[in-house]
Amino acid sequence: MARVAIDPITRIEGHLRVEIEVDSGVVKDAWVSGGLYRGMETVLQGRAPADAFYIAQRICGVCPISHGHASTMGSEAALGIKIPNNARIVRNIIEGAEFLHSHVLWFYTLTALDYVDVVSALSANIADTYALAEKAGTTTADFGAIQKRLAGFVKGGQLSIFTNGYWGHPAMKLPAELNLIAVAHYLEALQIQAQAAEIIAIMGGKFPHFMTSIPGGTSWVASEQRLADVLFRWQGVSDFITNTMIPDTLAIAPFYLEAAGYGKGVGNFLAWGVFDDVSMDPKKRVMPRGALTGLTPFDPKPEEVTEFIKHSWYDSGDNLNPAKGETKADFTTYDLNGKYSWVKAPRLNGKPMEVGPLARMLVAYVDGVAPVKALVDGALGALSKAAGKKLPPTVLVSLLGRVAARNLEAKVIADAMGGWIGEMVAAVKGGDSKYFVEATQSDGQGAGLWEAPRGALGHWVNVSGGKIANYQVVTPSTWDCSPRDDAGVRGPMEEALVGTPIADPTKPLEALRIVHSFDP
Amino acid sequence: MQGLDARLSLAGVSRREFLAFCGAAATALGLGISGAPAVADALQRGPRLTPAIWLNLGSCTGCTESLAQSGTPDIATIVLDMLSLDYMETLGAAAGTQAESALDDTLRRGGHLAIVEGAVMTGEAGNTLRIAGTTGDALLERVCRDAALVIAVGSCAADGGWVRARPNPAGATGVLQHLPQLEPRLVNLPTCPVNPEWVVAVLSGHLLGLPLPPLDDLRRPLTFFGQTIHDNCPRRGHFANGEFVERFGSLEESLGWCLYDMGCKGPVTRTDCPRVRWNRGVSWCVESGSPCIGCGSPDWVDAGAPFLSRTNAVRPGIAGLRPEVAGEVVAAGAAGAFAIWGVVETARGRLRDTMDSGETDRTDHEEPSGTLKNG
């Protein structure tokens, strides 16, 4: 029995500590602790709803668009504002660009180093690398030059961000040539994520932290020239996802098929849904609203969300719905039997829920959303071939499925985004010049229930006399990284860690894979 | 390994690209393009990459994200070829004990750069930020003690940023406020997030062995923070003409008119956003139709909110410029035109008072650049 603490968890947004109990090479128990409290909800009290849009998005520098939108939607719900159709389309495109930015950055920059041995790429045979890329149907690069760049870098003895990585770890399974392909695409992805972010900058001023999705609509006005600037960047990002990211995923997955056997988590899934169509019905969003226990769907009710704090460093009401939620910091000590995290424990009808691309893709799959069904069935077919047996959709409830779902979702969103740009062009050509409506009331309560790339996001806003009377946020990582609840039930990431094989407890790479699969 | 030149060839960077970078760096540092050879010489001197530690304190990771949006050099060049970023939580391959040992090794060798993102969290005896069994403020102190240079990136590191906004529930503050002894070797680069081009320029200056650039009393480089947004705003002509956007998403916005009435903090915000722009130069806040919210100003949330209302604090023109800074700027010859333009505008009565809605300006049109249709 060995107790292993991983702190800091790197390649995430924020500050996270994970403790695992390892016995006979398998994780028997796990605790996830959030290390940072800033007090956003308290800062927002008494401010104007529009100010909340600018401030609240700064909860997260990787997904500020989602927080900005959830904040604005919360204010709009509270004040009874119905936004013009143009604003809906503009928000979809900006949100979509953030999802593509985030998913590309996550796969290549954040989690790839858990699977790709950068040092091993030095021993790749260049001719074989080209042959492998062709066989995998993925894009090529100047593999020789990249290997030379890497060699010079390693010879120099200063590995910078690659210092002390898990090179040569027994859980690294890729052949040298595939490692080199992945390193080449790691570098290319750095350009692609920036290209996706440029779309946000064009329509929102800058990224991270954008300026235009204020309550009432958008302050950005479309023109054909600006839409052309957006279109060509979307095309580049979309091509990368289709021709590089998806083939890379399917090339790497066969070497890690055992990851379909663990990392299952709590098996309950929640999606508030994201990307509205013209009906503005959350169930008809491109990634629709829904919840699952196993693969059985049910309607998630926002009023059934409560947050527990028995194991979190707060001294405020327990088991409260966010509409009436409280946040009062009270650090005691780090105690795994008592309080051990700055993250609260949200539950839906008392149950822990996994949120994120896997939740969204499963909800959409069960709902019969056509492009999702086609992509998931296609990927299952490819993986079944590699495994030599037919794999059912339930195999996705695993580490492998959580990684694959995010990359497949990038393809769904990239394709949908082409449609939104087309809608916007049609609106400009058709002379629809409405982008913004004024609020007509100054009191009310509402919630912006939306999705960040990493999962279901809610901003509950209570406005009184034009000022925010109460504000509560439940982020995706609050759901996924939650500590135990008052009944002692583990959060989704804690539960997913249990059962994970650990080859070397001093280098717990496999546990990092589980943590990163949630993209916290 | 024979210095940067050899590293460049191994990195597949051509001599030409290298010199182009030196030219850009020299210009950004205020040396002018003729400074490029000096930049090249200095960069080729060192046989080792300068070690750097990037700390995330009470942050949203937005400044790291912003660095990843850098134009030339791009993020890969910065973290692989310019610096050895030995500890960086967001991008580092190592986690846990492996990350901590990389940090220990770098601190033992010394001579490192410390780049700090996020507010210093002092609430709950520092426990509002816990990293690797210690508190964020303790880690900050350890990393900065022997750092050759400390760069506080973003408004949170500069003065606590939004995290310090009323009522500051987590006890946030800035790096310099928390460790005043760092002043001689600290540079503040506020805005939320930081503009990556400024980070690259300051890093380049340090790698060149140059003294710190001229700084204002908030330790901000005057090159980037010496003038207001209003001074360089492409919509300035519309301000002079009295052409204002009065409603979001309007025809006036499509014509690119001035956002002053929408609460723009450009007249009191000292950054060069209109020139440096964002995301590899594709746009910036005002160009997207949003008023500036002043995210580079001290205490920006409480000083600027409500963001969409004109405030009495907004006093455009000479009145908003502190004399000592104006002196330096004008002496540097960088913005003589600014001062003259301000005087001319003031004299001609075009500067709008902040106390009323300035109806009279409506009659003072001069060469309107767009025509209102259907309006």
Tally of CB atoms within 10 A around B184: 8
Question: A42: nearest CA in chain B?
Answer: B169
Q: Which two tokens stand for residue B283?
A: 């746009």
Sign of CA dihedral A35, A37, A41, A43: negative
Cα maximum dimension of chain B: 69
Q: Is the pLDDT of residue B355 over 50?
A: no
Look at residue B314 in the predicted model and tell me its pLDDT.
54
- Looking at the complex, report in whole angstroms how far the Cα of residue A274 sits from the nearest Cα belonging to chain B: 22
Look at residue A153 in the predicted model and tell me its pLDDT.
86
Closest alpha carbon to A300 in A324, A274, A282, A278: A282
Residue A67 near residue A366 (C-beta atoms within 8 A): no
**CB distance A59–B284 less than 8 Å?**
no
Cα–Cα distance, B66 to A194 (Å, whole number): 9
Q: Please give, one letter per residue, the 3-state secondary structure of A269-325.
A: EEECCECCCCCCCHHHCCECCEEEECCEEECCCHHHEEEECCCECECCCCCECHHHC
Look at residue A1 in the predicted model and tell me its pLDDT.
84
**CB distance B97–A506 less than 8 Å?**
yes
Q: What angle do CA A364, A369, A372 make, to 5 degrees?
A: 75
ipTM of the complex: 0.97
* Catalytic residue list contains B22: no
**pLDDT mean across residues, chain B:** 82
Q: Is the pLDDT of residue B369 over 70?
A: no
Name the residue with higher pLDDT: B94 or B355. B94
**Ranges in chain B annotated CATH 4.10.480.10:** 226-348
Question: B277: nearest CA in chain A?
Answer: A206
Look at residue A15 in the predicted model and tell me its pLDDT.
97
pLDDT confidence tier of residue B370, bands split at 50, 70 and 90: very low
Residue A406 near residue A107 (C-beta atoms within 8 A): yes
**CB distance B279–A229 less than 8 Å?**
no
* Catalytic residue list contains B144: no
Name the residue with higher pLDDT: A243 or B318. A243
pLDDT 10s digits, B160-206: 999 999 999 999 999 999 999 999 999 999 999 999 999 999 999 99
**Ranges in chain B annotated CATH 3.40.50.700:** 4-223
Question: B4: nearest CA in chain A?
Answer: A156
Give pLDDT < 70 ranges for chain A: none
**CB distance B49–A109 less than 8 Å?**
no
- Looking at the complex, report in whole angstroms how far the Cα of residue A257 sits from the nearest Cα belonging to chain B: 23
| C-alpha distance from residue A393 to each of A299, A300, A385, A396, A462 (Å) | 21, 22, 14, 6, 41
Look at residue B20 in the predicted model and tell me its pLDDT.
72
Of the candidates B7, B192, B248, the beta carbon closest to that of A436 is on: B248
**CB distance A42–B167 less than 8 Å?**
yes
Q: Please give, one letter per residue, the 3-state secondary structure of A354-380.
A: ECCHHHHHHHHHHHCCHHHHHHHHHHH
Query: Would you kindly state where each structural domain of chain A is located, as residue ranges?
Result: 1-37+501-520, 266-392+458-489
Q: Which residues of A touch B12 (CB under 8 A)?
A: 145-146, 148-149
CATH assignment of B4-223, among 3.40.50.700, 3.40.640.10, 2.120.10.30, 3.40.50.920:
3.40.50.700
**CB distance B62–A61 less than 8 Å?**
yes
pLDDT 10s digits, B229-286: 999 999 999 999 999 999 998 999 999 999 999 999 999 999 999 999 999 999 999 9
* Catalytic residue list contains B292: yes
Of the candidates B94, B95, B284, the beta carbon closest to that of A205 is on: B284
Q: Which two tokens stand for residue B126?
A: 């520092």
Name the β-bridge partners of A354: A269
- Looking at the complex, report in whole angstroms how far the Cα of residue B175 sits from the nearest Cα belonging to chain A: 16
Q: Is the pLDDT of residue B67 over 50?
A: yes
pLDDT 10s digits, B39-57: 666 665 456 899 999 999 9
Cα–Cα distance, A159 to B79 (Å, whole number): 10
- A3 CB near a chain B CB, below 8 Å? no
pLDDT confidence tier of residue B73, bands split at 50, 70 and 90: confident
- Looking at the complex, report in whole angstroms how far the Cα of residue B264 sits from the nearest Cα belonging to chain A: 12
Q: Which residues of A touch B168 (CB under 8 A)?
A: 39, 43
Q: Which residues of A touch B290 (CB under 8 A)?
A: 205, 211-212, 214, 219-220
Cα–Cα distance, B260 to B264 (Å, whole number): 5
Look at residue B173 in the predicted model and tell me its pLDDT.
98
- Looking at the complex, report in whole angstroms how far the Cα of residue B89 sits from the nearest Cα belonging to chain A: 5
Residue B213 near residue B30 (C-beta atoms within 8 A): yes
Q: Is the pLDDT of residue B367 over 70?
A: no
Cα–Cα distance, B188 to B115 (Å, whole number): 10
- A118 CB near a chain B CB, below 8 Å? yes
- Looking at the complex, report in whole angstroms how far the Cα of residue A243 sits from the nearest Cα belonging to chain B: 22
- A35 CB near a chain B CB, below 8 Å? yes
**CB distance B250–A13 less than 8 Å?**
no
Residue entry with tokens 């003065």: B159
* Catalytic residue list contains B295: yes
Q: Is the pLDDT of residue B312 over 90?
A: no
Of the candidates A10, A54, A158, the beta carbon closest to that of B99 is on: A10
Tally of CB atoms within 10 A around A288: 23
- Contacts of residue A411, defined as CB under 8 A and 6 or more positions apart, other chains included, come to A241, A242, A245, A246, A375
Residues 214-253 of A with CB under 8 A from B: 214, 216-221, 223, 229
Look at residue B15 in the predicted model and tell me its pLDDT.
63
pLDDT confidence tier of residue B29, bands split at 50, 70 and 90: low
Name the β-bridge partners of A444: A463
Look at residue A255 in the predicted model and tell me its pLDDT.
98
Tally of CB atoms within 10 A around A374: 11
pLDDT confidence tier of residue B310, bands split at 50, 70 and 90: confident
Interface test with B, best of A106, A142, A163, A454 (most B CBs within 10 A): A163
Cα–Cα distance, B267 to B27 (Å, whole number): 26
Interface test with A, best of B67, B69, B103 (most A CBs within 10 A): B69
Could you please state the CATH topology (level 3) that the domain comprising B226-348 is classified under. Answer: Cytochrome-c3 Hydrogenase; Chain A, domain 2 (4.10.480)
For the packed helices A509-517 and A399-430, what is the interaxial angle rounded to 10 degrees? 30
Cα–Cα distance, A420 to A100 (Å, whole number): 14
Name the residue with higher pLDDT: A456 or B365. A456
